[in-house]
Structure 1
C-alpha cells in the first residue's frame, strides 16, 4: 500500500500536523467501528444508534480524506504550478480525485 503510485513527482510527505491529526482521527474511527461491532452483537440493538455510530466513522474518514487531499494539492499541485507544469498539475489532481470520498 505504501509508495508513490501516481504521476512522477518530487515527493513531499504529509507534514507532521496533518499526519498526526489523521492518525488521531483514524484511531477514533476505529474505536467507533469497534463499538458498532459490539452493538451488533446485541440482538436488541436500536437501529438509529448503529446509524449514528456509522455516521461518526464516515465523518472521521471523510475529514482525513479531505486533509490528505488538501495537503497533496498544496504540496504537489502548487509546486507543479510554480514550475508551469500543466500536465503534472492535471495528473496529480486526477490521481488524487480518484480517492475523493
Structure 2
C-alpha cells in the first residue's frame, strides 16, 4: 500500500518540473536511438546512446530520491509513519 493514500506526500513542484523536463529530453534521445536503428548503425554508437539515456534516467531518479529523503523521510517520525515509509522505500530501492 502506498503512503500517499494515508498522507498527502507529494513530489516538490520544482523537482517535479525538473524531472518532467529531463524525461522529455530522454524521450527525444530514445526517439533518436530508434531512428538510428532504422539505418545500419555501428553497435558501439548505439551502446553509447543507450548509456547516455541510462545516465539521464539515473539523474532523474537521484533527484526524486533526494527530494523524498529531504521532505518525507526526514519528517517520518513526526508523522508516525517511519516503518511504513522505510518499507515502501526499501521496496522501491530493490529495483535500482
- Range into which the TM-score falls when normalised by the shorter chain: 0.7 to 0.9
TM-score between the two structures when normalised by the length of structure 1: 0.77
Name which of 8, 13, 19 aligns with 1:22: 19
TM-score between the two structures when normalised by the length of structure 2: 0.80
Q: Which residues of structure 2 form unaligned runs of 5+?
A: none
The answer to which of 49-58 and 84-93 deviates more is 84-93
State the Cα deviation string for residues 13-54 of structure 1 (Å, max 9, x = none): 1112101110111011111100100010112x1112111111
1:6 aligns with 2:6: no
Aligned-partner Cα distance in 1 for 2:91–2:72: 11
**Distance change in 2, residues 1:16/1:6 (3 Å):** same
Classify the secondary structure of the residue corresponding to 2:46: helix
Q: Which residues of structure 1 form unaligned runs of 5+?
A: none
The alpha-carbon deviation at position 9 of structure 1 amounts to 4.1
Deviation >6 Å, runs of 4+ = none
Aligned length: 95
For the aligned residue pairs, the C-alpha RMSD in angstroms reads 2.1
| 1:69 corresponding residue in structure 2 | 65
